[in-house]
Structure 1
Amino acid sequence: MAKKKGGPKGKKITLKIAKNSIRITFDGKRRLDLSKMDIAVIPKCLLKVCDVEELDLSRNLIRKVPDWIQRFQNMRWLDLHSNQIEKVPESIGQLQNLLFLNVCNNKLTAKGIPIELSQLKNLRQLNLGLNTIDALPSTIGALKELKEVGLFDNHLTAVPSSILKLPKLKKLNTQRNPIPPTEEEMKTEQQEIIRRVKALYLVNKKDLCSPCVTKCQIERSKLKNMATLSTRSPLFSNLIKPNSTAKQIQSSGGVKILKV
């Protein structure tokens, strides 16, 4: 008889283990820390401690977040990073007190991001980095309290304008996405090449000491590499530069876009 296929069984978490894993944070909140415990399935016994304000299930083997997560009505902080989650449940939109949500380093795609995420009206920080997301629902623009958004290491080819228009956004990380460079970005790179070329002086090699010859050879090699790169259209851009819409936001709201 063929064996049934399935994921890792993981460690079984009992109510006693859960209660013993509750800690008090520096500001007096109750945090249930079940991180790094090889959990594959979130046990339903956690409903007995659903009054906690913070829940850490990071660095486990979790593939699915149950719909009953909505019962954690006091929760303000939810950390699910470094698991195997493919979909965020629609019921997460019922967590109206949630301020922090981290689902970084999972297996999320565009289909795994529900439009109900837009119901988290008080959300301040959202981390979706290190997934395979190539598009985001425009409804994320409804999260008016968002201050930090992590979208790094995904498959995005553009940053949704709805995110750039968030009124309180201060930090947006889009590093290592296949976002094409803007005309302004290409122009700046070419100007840098010209500036460096103008700073060179022609001298005879025999008039230079050995360390200076080595330094000149290194600089010449760098210039050749920059010239080669400027003639290509790179598939990956480490960071987008703000377009006209983003610049307006920066002048009014102060959006900070991270650089490598």
Structure 2
Amino acid sequence: MHYKASQRIEAVRAGKTDTLDLSHLGLTELPNEVFSLPSLRVLNVRNLMLFSNQTMIDLMKESPFEQDPALLTLIEEAEHDLRQDLLVPKQLQTLDARISQLTALETLDLGFNQLTHLPETLSHLPNLRRLLLNDNQLTAVPTSLAQLVRLELLDLTGNPLETKPVLTQLDKYEAYKAHFKQQRSDAFRAKDLDMGVWLFQKEISYGLVL
């Protein structure tokens, strides 16, 4: 197991945090130890942020404040992150059915992996509110996801879905996405650079910009 993954899992086990960030570690599967963390609320296994970083870079370069020192610094940092992401060679291929053991889970971020299917047990997470599955290889999703009554955000963009699932959570996602986009546009038009960049970073963290 990746040493960073081991350290972060141990921090959750010790009760120091209820968030486990395994992103950008090149994991091809979830470590067995993850499934023995009943208090885990946030699990991030996003493996590649290439498109998000590039989108952010492009947007900032189009800003009327492109030469602002603070913005130039942000662009430089984003380009550095993008170069680092290019070094990540591995992604999740499958999602273990034992994911259902994480009953306290509220956020599950599996974006930018190579998942081709999802286990039915994913619908057994009673507290799940945010499920980010963007940019995988899913052609279909279990209809049982409709049982996730607390789910507020479901992101399936960037998947070769053969049919669009009939899930109310997708409509909520589109509404959130439109709202944040409008707020960000208004901020930039008002020349409020700090607010515009902050909103854009929030969009990325919520999986609304890819």
If each structure's helix is expressed as a fraction of its own residues, which one has the higher value? 2
Residues 116 and 44 of structure 1, relative CA distance in 2, 3 Å threshold? closer
The number of aligned residues is: 134
Deviation at 1:117, TM superposition (A): 1.2
Task: Find 1:140's aligned residue among 116, 122, 126.
Answer: 122
8 A Cα contact 1:77 1:100, kept in partner = yes
Compute the TM-score of the two structures, normalised by the length of structure 1: 0.45
1:9-56 CA-partner distances (Å, limit 9, x unpaired): xxxxxxxxxxxxxxxxxxxxxxxxxxxxxxx94079949x94x45xxx
Take 1:44 and 1:87, find their aligned partners in 2: how far apart are those partners?
Answer: 12
AA at the equivalent of 1:94 = S
Structure 2: runs of 5+ lacking an equivalent: 48-89, 178-208
Alignment of 1:92 onto 2:34 = yes
Take 1:44 and 1:152, find their aligned partners in 2: how far apart are those partners?
Answer: 22
Percentage identity across paired residues of the two chains: 33
Q: Where do residues 172-251 of structure 1 align in structure 2 (5 Å cutoff)?
A: 172-181=154-163, 240=164, 242-243=165-166, 246-247=167-168
Query: Partner of 2:93 in structure 1?
Result: 109
Residues 138 and 171 of structure 1, relative CA distance in 2, 3 Å threshold? same
Take 1:166 and 1:44, find their aligned partners in 2: how far apart are those partners?
Answer: 28
Compute the TM-score of the two structures, normalised by the length of structure 2: 0.55
Query: Partner of 2:138 in structure 1?
Result: 156
8 A Cα contact 1:76 1:100, kept in partner = yes
Structure 1: runs of 5+ lacking an equivalent: 1-39, 54-70, 182-239
Alignment of 1:257 onto 2:199 = no
Over alpha carbons, which structure has the higher Rg? 1
8 A Cα contact 2:45 2:110, kept in partner = yes
Corresponding residue SS for 2:3: coil
Bigger relative CO (Cα 8 Å, ≥ 6 apart): 2
